[in-house]
Structures are given as structure tokens and as C-alpha cells.
Structure 1
């Protein structure tokens, strides 16, 4: 297995910290998340809704006739990208961590995985019918989040869909916490929805899930569509 190229040396300090931290725990992380969706029926349901909406109205010239490509941004070892494929989507993954990308390619050789940063994607304007961001913006400093939504807007076709999962802070405000890999943030779901709306997204629905016995925080999920 040839190693993936390292991220650009011009990465900002927080992106470099995140990349290095996930490189260091990649093998253990891949083992931890393997099969994790099996016990999460609500998570599977919101993913299925995202897939169905994307397949039937994915945006772009082929809208209504089957979706174009869908990117999982922050794909880690590729298990969620594979799940999207199993739901019928033309899915590929992008992650900041080269070691994660190597693991994803090894585990899912039939799928496409690339090293990259979701705030500066090597994708054309309007190229995607859908984006899955599954707990992948959680390490982003709050002041940087609007630039991520702007990039999601750029690469999605009109009518394309975005599913965002994150740790929710019911009592507000945005709160940093000691994530096991590196510092992460909990967001009030209304604040995330407001930033997405300012970026031009239309909310379709939301799902809040209470933490399981082995989880610390409530989980937020926002399903959105890029405006026409």
C-alpha cells in the first residue's frame, strides 16, 4: 500500500493539529467505528432520508433522474462512505488525515478516497449532488465555520443536499470540550441552522438524539438543501 500524499504544508495550525492527531489514532479509530451504525437506528434513518432525497432531486442537470457524485467530507476510514454507496449513492470520501485515507482505501478498494481539506476542496463549482459531513466540522474553531458553509455551497449543485452531524449544546453557547482525539466544539442546533441559512441553505429537517449510555453529549443532525 503506497502512502497517501501529506496535506499541504500551508495548512492552518488547527488543521495541522487535527490531521496529526487523527494520523496518530487512525488504526484504533477505525476499529472503534467499525459497525457503529448497527446500534443507531435514528442515525441510519436520517442517512437514508439524505440518500433518498439526493437520489430523487440531487441537483444539477440530472436532478430527478438520479444523483451525481456525493462526497463524504471528513470520511475517516471510509465506513460511512461505504454506507452511502450501499444506499445507492455515487459516493467518494475526502479526509485531512493521510493515514485515514490509506486505511479507507485498504478497507474499500472499490471506492475513491482523497486527501484534502473541506474548507478548500479540489472540486469544480456545482460538481456535487450531495455532501455528508458526519461529525467532521467538530474540531473547527467557531469563527471558521462560515467559510466551510461557503465552500459547501460552492461545490454543491443547485438543489443539492447537505447532511451535517455534530455534538449539540442544548443550553448554548458554543462550548469547547476535551474530545478524545483533539479539542472539539458543541453547538446549539439553532446556531448551526442559522449559519447554514446565512450561507444560502434551506433547512429540510433536523434530528436530535439523546446520548446513549456510552456517549456524553446529545447529537444534532441537520438536513439541508442548497437554494436554487
Structure 2
């Protein structure tokens, strides 16, 4: 495992309880996010994986909409919390950089605010992995931070010391990376962020 992945895993293990509290109930106040997730639930057909699922709140929400879904996260403590909170769903420790899934196994894949931890040079390989595990016609949903090119090293987050990096890329570059991985872009939504020059990007794509 690379140093940056190991640091990200250790940081989210340390912040797991506080992060879980931070995201608890947030979806109720985010109608656009619920709409995006709801649209994906209607479009997707077949088993789905959420990679970078954290404490399982988005995985659980999609399951409540009828999606056959499992969660995968890099941080073992996040997976423990998700398993305890949602015992009827499957959660596994794993990395989006090396998915232990068969070719064409999934009908859909969700990466919800997790790819921003990838250095830009690693994103094409990860998207190629997403393409590999999706069946023909499979659906991809990515939600992520976007904006002016920025690399940030965080040393404190969610009230605890951490050490992980966040890589913010322009939305058009992210969309082009998805397209270059072999996907057809079917829809995208760009919402203003809370900081100048930052946005929230949602991208729907499909494997041909």
C-alpha cells in the first residue's frame, strides 16, 4: 500500500466516530443530493458497490430505495461502524485502487466524495478499474469536490489529528477522465460550494 493510502486509512480510522456523527442526518437537509441518489437508484439494474462508503450512511440510503448494494471502505474502523449500524448489509475493507471484484460483476458503482483523496495521476487507473468491474450498460455515479486545482494536506479534521491529502481538480478535467476511461457521460450536476472556487460535482456515466 502506498504511503498516501496508508495515511488516509489511519486518519479515517482515527476520525471514524467523529466523522460518523458529522454525517449523521445530513442527507435529510440536502434535497439535491437525495435527488441525485434517487435518480441513480431508478436507473441502475443489478448489484451495486459503493467504494469509499465510510460509515455506510449512503449505502444504507440507497438500500432503502431498493438498490442491491454493498459497501467497501479503506478504513477498517469505518467498516466496523457500518456493520454495527446496518447489520443487514454487507461491508468489506478494500481499496478502490485494487478492487477485489470480478470483471463485469456489478450493475452499478458509486464513489461518493471519495475520489478526491486520489492523486490526479492515480485517477485514470482507478476509473479503469471501475469500468472493468461493471457489466455492459452498467451505471457509474461519482460525487466529488471540484474546483480550482488545489492540493491540501490536512492535519486536523472532525476534531482529531489526521494526516491525509485532498486533491481538487476542475470539473471538466474530472468529467474528461471519466470519459477517457471508456464511459459515456449521461448527466452531470455542478452545485456551488461553500468556498470560493469550489463546487460539488455529480456525474452519471454508463459503460457502453
> Above 0.5 in TM-score?
yes
1:4-23 Cα offsets, whole Å, 9 max, x none, are: xxxxxxx1111111100100
Aligned equivalents of 2:150, 2:197: Cα separation in 1: 14
Aligned equivalents of 1:135, 1:42: Cα separation in 2: 15
1:105-126 Cα offsets, whole Å, 9 max, x none, are: 0000000000001111111100
1:175 aligns with 2:142: no
1:178 shift after superposition = 4.5
1:210 aligns with 2:192: yes
Aligned equivalents of 1:197, 1:217: Cα separation in 2: 22
- In the other structure, the counterpart of 1:50 is 40
- In the other structure, the counterpart of 1:105 is 83
1:141 aligns with 2:131: no
Contact 1:42 1:209 in 2 (8 A): no
Contact 1:163 1:222 in 2 (8 A): yes
* TM superposition outliers: structure 1 runs of 4+ over 2 Å: 177-182
Over the aligned positions, Cα root-mean-square deviation in angstroms equals 1.6
Q: 1:94 to 1:29 in 2, by over 3 A?
A: same
Contact 1:166 1:187 in 2 (8 A): no
Aligned equivalents of 2:194, 2:2: Cα separation in 1: 34
- In the other structure, the counterpart of 1:80 is 58
1:211 shift after superposition = 2.6
SS in 1 for 2:205: strand
- In the other structure, the counterpart of 1:58 is none
Aligned equivalents of 1:183, 1:15: Cα separation in 2: 9
1:128-168 Cα offsets, whole Å, 9 max, x none, are: 01111001111111100001001000000011011111111
Aligned equivalents of 2:39, 2:194: Cα separation in 1: 22
1:217 shift after superposition = 3.4
- In the other structure, the counterpart of 1:13 is 3
1:65-88 Cα offsets, whole Å, 9 max, x none, are: xx2210000000000000110111
Query: Given the two structures, how large is their TM-score scaled by the length of structure 2?
Result: 0.92
1:32 aligns with 2:7: no
Gap regions ≥5 residues in structure 1? 1-10, 55-66
1:177 shift after superposition = 2.6
Return 186-195 or 73-82, whichever deviates more. Answer: 186-195
SS in 2 for 1:176: strand
- In the other structure, the counterpart of 1:71 is 49
